[in-house]
Structure 1
């Protein structure tokens, strides 16, 4: 796998995680094709054009996950793809199977079909801890690693549509790669926090902002498994560049957590201290007026 060069595509380039991936790629000498629903929307995408090296090495494409031809145009000529885009419902939707699950699965398969057509070297697909941890049959106390998958029927029964969508999309991605000779690596980050590059507040940042503001009268006493968005970006690049990267990776920044990122750390991934992530997040939120 050639490092620090070439053309790669990032889907959903304007999002929280994807923006940091684009930034890191540009800083490491890559030329980037970024897909967006509407590249002309400066209110959502201006931050991408301000990134270092963006004027020379960033090209934005109008694309929709359910429009194969638009994805194929963006991925054509790329050596690698980072599939980051995925629907995250802000609230309950009338038809979750059609509005959440189907776009996640069909969108992922469209991306991978375009990858196969373009003969990319590797596709890195971002999944979620939600595809790992929703499994009531997993032995209590046993660390959840890459062998643990969320129970699809259980997710459907409890109407946890996001978890179902990520579980189905990830399993379909790995299956597609195996059947079509496409090198696919999936990564399952936990709750992602950190300073934002984009102007609109994303779902995981809202979780932390609400905790800091005391937005709810009561808060459930539970553990939040957290990872810094900048560490997620570095993990994705590492997984793209390392030929030996395995097919599925769980990403969490706590060695003692019941979720394990041992495989990723063995590849050389290192994460920043939780205190640093929280401090940088809070400082950004304060400067942006999000805690008022």
Structure 2
């Protein structure tokens, strides 16, 4: 690498100059918490982009050494037109980012995918722990109207196909439910999940839950796979592979004052538990924050931000 300032573009760190992207530069809900970060004044530049607008992406990426592509619509909402509202934006947005990365000579692209591109996978061998070789079953997702897992799966597959055809160096991180301290004023899907659990929600997310991961570990995972040339392929990013029932039971144990429902122990049919599901990241040196601390950091942040009392 040339001896120059390392610049990374984050679409949607630690000694880097960061070009971060937002939908609307005039919306303080998108920008204020980023501009308040330590070092932001000198090392953060915000760009307004539309992932379906190639030129806006190119403007943000120009001059960067690496790209962290974090942006894909993540929601459990229902859609009137999933093809145009979710699938096409996820796939086309990803290809636009990779096309710009190739054009401007980016050395490595880190793509954040999800465990939702690994499961639901009902045909995976019952006696084998799910790993990076496992892919979500597209037909099963279509049949059950699981549009987010389908979109993230198709987007990741499109990224791998593009990388192979164009010779672009990409590496993928597949996080589980991302919890921890809250930076923005709104909650992501994972933090909404624990908030609803504390309020008594009995959903079990049987087809998409594989375990928790601390938001700080997700950030560190991205840096590790970006900086380490030995990192290749997909990287499952969960503290342990576990069932949602395990998570709910631990939340109830730690916070008995809330209305956490009693759930079955085995909420994910056929999912084998494992302590080293994220072995690839562990081998790169990532020491995951344990489940109990993940939960405490998430709940205490919900309290401090006024989402619960």
TM-score of the superposition, structure 1-length normalised?
0.90
User: What is the alpha-carbon root mean square deviation over aligned residues?
Assistant: 2.0
Aligned match of 1:104: 90
Equivalent pair of 2:211/2:241 in contact (CA under 8 Å): no
Matches within 5 A, 1:171-182: 171-182=157-168
Question: Measured at CA, do residues 132 and 221 of structure 1 come closer, stay the same or move farther in structure 2, by a change above 3 Å?
Answer: closer
- Which protein is bigger by CA-based radius of gyration? 2
Q: 1:277 aligns with which of 274, 282, 294?
A: 294
State the match for 2:135 in structure 1: 149
Q: Secondary structure at the match of 1:188?
A: strand
| Corresponding residue to 2:42 among 56, 65, 77 | 56
After TM superposition, give the deviation of residue 245 of structure 1 in Å: 0.3
Q: Which of residues 203, 224, 235 is equivalent to 2:221?
A: 235
Q: Does the CA contact (< 8 Å) of 1:30 and 1:57 recur in 2? A: yes
The aligned counterpart of 1:11 is: 11
Gaps of 5+ in 2: 243-272
State the 1:267 CA deviation. 1.2
Answer yes or no: is the 8 Å Cα contact 2:173–2:235 preserved in 1: yes
1:170 and 1:220 mapped to 2: Cα distance?
25
Q: Number of matched residues?
A: 276
Structure 2 SS opposite 1:93: coil
SS, match of residue 35 in structure 1: strand
The residue number in structure 2 matching 1:212 is: 198
Runs of 4+ in 1 over 2 A off after TM superposition: 1-5, 218-224, 255-259
The answer for the alignment partner of 1:187 in structure 2 is 173
Are residues 1:135 and 2:107 paired? no
In the TM superposition, residue 58 of structure 1 has moved relative to its aligned partner by: 0.6
| 1:287 corresponds to | 304
2:54 maps to which of 47, 64, 68: 68
Quote the offset at 1:213 in angstroms.
2.2
Alignment correspondent of 1:21: none
Alignment deviations for residues 83-121 of structure 1 (CA, whole Å, 9 cap, x no partner): 001112352111011111110001000000010011111
Question: 1:2 offset after TM fit, Å?
Answer: 8.1
User: What's the counterpart of residue 277 of structure 2?
Assistant: 260
Structure with larger RCO (C-alpha < 8 A, sep 6+): 1
Does residue 226 of the first structure (1) align with residue 212 of the second (2)? yes
